[in-house]
Chains A and B, each alone.
Chain A
Amino acid sequence: MAYLVQPDYVKYTCTCGQQKPITNLYFCRHCLKIRCSFCISHEVDSHYCANCLENMPSSEARLKKNRCGSCFDCPSCFHTLSTRATVAQPRQDPAAGDAKVENKQSKKMYYLLCFNCRWTSRDVGIPDQPVATGGWPERVNPFNSRVNQLLDFYKAVVQQEKQEKLDKERKKYAIRGKYITLTDKTGLTMAMARNIAGLPSSEGAPSSAIANFVPSQASAEWQPADVARLYPLARPLSVKRSQRCRLCDHNLTKPDYHVPEVKIISCETLKPGATCALLLKLSNPTAHEMQITLVDPAEVPEHQEREEGRTIEKSLEKSLCLEKDMSWLEAVSRKVDVTSPLSVTRPDVTLTLAQRDDAAEYDDDAHTHSDDVILWRKSNKLALRLQVQVAEGAVEGPGARLPLALRYSYRNTVPPASAAPLVRDHVLYVAVLLDLGQVYAE
């Protein structure tokens, strides 16, 4: 369950141990594993402007410093600027005197306006333009020649380092992924990507203290200290990405059609030492019948990617002196913490969920099947009633999390690689963490 602005109440555990809402996860249909943004390789497909949706080939994007030629952001609040039209009043020339003739020549002039903070291009003295898009004066970086000099120098350095590296690697025959990674294309390293993703990397100044500099730093070439010198910022381009599994290099899909979805319907107030009812909704998004059993999170078999990787390499690639770089795994993987003051009594039943049937949405007759565990059933969904025990010593406060694991049957529909045997039915595990809210003392 994921919301646009609300906190994520149900988090799934990725193969690498990161906990994320299902909307932020991917599923590899070849490894049959959940992947998150940290354990996949990101590949740049194309550049485009998120505002005008124009595509731009990457060479052109590089030339334009990854910015759109016709869209601008507000230099003061970074909202997208809108183009406004005014009818220019032709200047009354007292010498000419004939106002009627001039009125006929009055034409539309355009300026840029921010609807958020009401900044306008007139504020900084940019003249109104006769055309709606483009034509805005481009400013030249005062240090242009110096920057180019430095660029040339570092290009030479890169060239030299590449040559040295190539010489070294010629002996090693190391393979890299077949596909160009984000790092290759943009120079964005994993650490930088992590920073952008909001992961703490180093202790820095609190962002509020430097907030005043933000508009100034946004136009890095000029860094105006005066608000009157804030010029519109050409809008940075976005990239279309495709995600690939780091282990098998296949394209990934969203888990929405492969992993059973867990939603919280309701939960009674949590009190230390008490037992309270928790209602969950499970749904089977696949096109096949699914057997689900609740298991102890500790029972979830540890993912053994490293071992798997090795065995394949041993048999095939090791003999060819090929080794796949697995160092990323160490950097991202983490141990899942399953200790919690909350525990759940797991009903000793296997729940069978029918396949997803879009037409069933329109059926009126709900299968009101009801017993101790199953509250109701309807096509591919069912509601579970579980008992949650809160430990005697549970600390009062928010963020009471209940770890839960599901074992489910999964039918693989991807045709296997030529040599491999066809295995259609699999038993997979998924660990979820439910945020049940606050523990209240008596």
Chain B
Amino acid sequence: MAHNVKILPGATVCEDCTLEGDITIGGGTVIHPRVSIIAEGGPIIIAEYCIIEEYSKIIHKKSEKQENPPKPLFIGAHNVFEVGCKLESIFGHIGESNVFECKSFVGTSVRIGSGCVIGAACNLTAPQTLADNTVIWGAENNIREALEKQPSQVLQLDFLGKVMPNYHRLRKQNFHKRQPSRQSQDGK
């Protein structure tokens, strides 16, 4: 597998994590140690200001109906992946401001809009589409609709960006922003 990890300026990516395949990490995003991001079915693009916590797994699975060239998995801005969550989506797009709570699991055939919350330990395996602002919580996967998007974690991101370099070895940013190319990435 080609290892082609692009870390944009302003991203905080710990060294002690598994990044495999073609991965782009947007500015302002914080990736904690022990995170696995595996782009085996196509590139993964993580937009700005995401928090990806310890033991999270983001996998772009190989699918049978693989397009050629493979479609990237685009993860929108301000998403929070809490400790131990797992995302296996093969759909090209995850919205923004979603929260994947601890130990949650999102299977391959789940489409996720924006502002959704997948509650702690909730398992989504059946093919489905989560409309914007859907909240799934509890042992019985109760569903409710939030009125507004989840508040963004700006303060937490600020704090992590300041503190993480003091306690962890970080990967160096290796990709310099070029205005036009960035715009085309965002548009995907």
Contacts and interface: CB of A to CB of B under 8 A. Distances in A.
Contact of B138 (A86, A116, A123, A227): A116
A123 B146 contact: yes
Contacts of A86: 151
A119 B119 contact: no
Interface string A394-409: 0000000000000000
Contacts of B147: 120, 122-123
Interface residues of B, number: 12
Contact of B119 (A116, A120, A122, A227): A116
A122 B138 contact: no
The 4 residue pairs across chains A and B that have the minimum distance between CB atoms = A117-B137, A118-B135, A123-B147, A118-B117
A227 B135 CA distance: 14
B82 to A, nearest CB: 11
Interface string B91-116: 00000000000000000000000000
Interface string A114-129: 0011111011000000
A77 B148 contact: no
Interface in A88-126: 116-120, 122-123
A19 interface: no
Contacts of B117: 118
B24 interface: no
A118 B142 contact: no
B119 A117 contact: yes
A123 B144 CA distance: 11
A76 interface: yes
B135 A117 contact: yes
Interface of A: 76-77, 86, 116-120, 122-123, 227
B150 interface: yes
B139 to A, nearest CB: 11
A80 B173 CA distance: 42
Nearest to B133: A118
B120 to A, nearest CB: 8
Contacts of B138: 77, 116-117
A103 B50 CA distance: 28
B144 A117 contact: yes
Given A117-B119, A118-B117, A77 B137 contact: yes
Nearest to A116: B137
Contact of B142 (A77, A120, A123): A77
Interface string B26-53: 0000000000000000000000000000
12 contacts: A77-B138, A116-B119, A116-B137, A116-B138, A117-B138, A118-B146, A120-B146, A120-B148, A122-B148, A123-B146, A123-B147, A227-B144
Contacts of A76: 144
A117 B143 CA distance: 9
Nearest to A118: B135
A77 B151 CA distance: 20
B142 to A, nearest CB: 7
Contacts of A118: 117, 135, 137, 144, 146, 150
Give the residue among A76, A117, A118, A227 with the most B Cβ atoms within 10 A: A118
Interface in B117-142: 117, 119, 135, 137-138, 142
A206 to B, nearest CB: 15
A204 to B, nearest CB: 20
A99 B28 CA distance: 28
Given A117-B138, A118-B150, 7 more contacts: A77-B137, A77-B138, A116-B119, A116-B137, A117-B137, A120-B147, A227-B144
A86 B150 CA distance: 13
A123 B150 CA distance: 12
A86 B152 CA distance: 11
A248 to B, nearest CB: 44
A122 B147 CA distance: 8
A119 B135 CA distance: 9
Contacts of A123: 146-147
Contacts of B151: 86
A307 to B, nearest CB: 49
A190 B137 CA distance: 36
Nearest to B120: A116
A76 B136 CA distance: 12
A229 to B, nearest CB: 13
B144 A119 contact: yes
B32 to A, nearest CB: 20
Contacts of B137: 77, 116-118
